[in-house]
Amino acid sequence: MNLIKYDRHARRRMKERGVTEEEAGIAINEPEYMEPSIKGRKNAYKFINGRFLRVTFKEEYDHILVITVTVRKKPFKGEIYENRIQ
């Protein structure tokens, strides 16, 4: 498991959205779904604590840098969670 660092934007969004570093780390290390994003980044999706998280991050040489964290009450993409909901 790599060291996870958070840029200023990610920390601000996490605070606004009530997401802990532990939750973001779980999403990265144990995602339900992962997809490539722009600029060499990745999106990790995880249903945790009754909400859906999307953690956007970039793998650096010696750590993972979290760019932003987004939260929704409904899934980001239906096909990702269609088997796990209801």
Quick: pLDDT tens for 5-35.
Answer: 999 999 999 999 999 999 999 999 999 999 9
**Side-chain half-sphere CA neighbours of 6 within 13 A:** 19
What's the topology of domain 3-77?
YaeB-like fold (3.30.2310)
First to last CA, the chain: 32
pTM here? 0.84
Instruction: Give yes or no for residue 84 having a pLDDT over 90.
Output: no
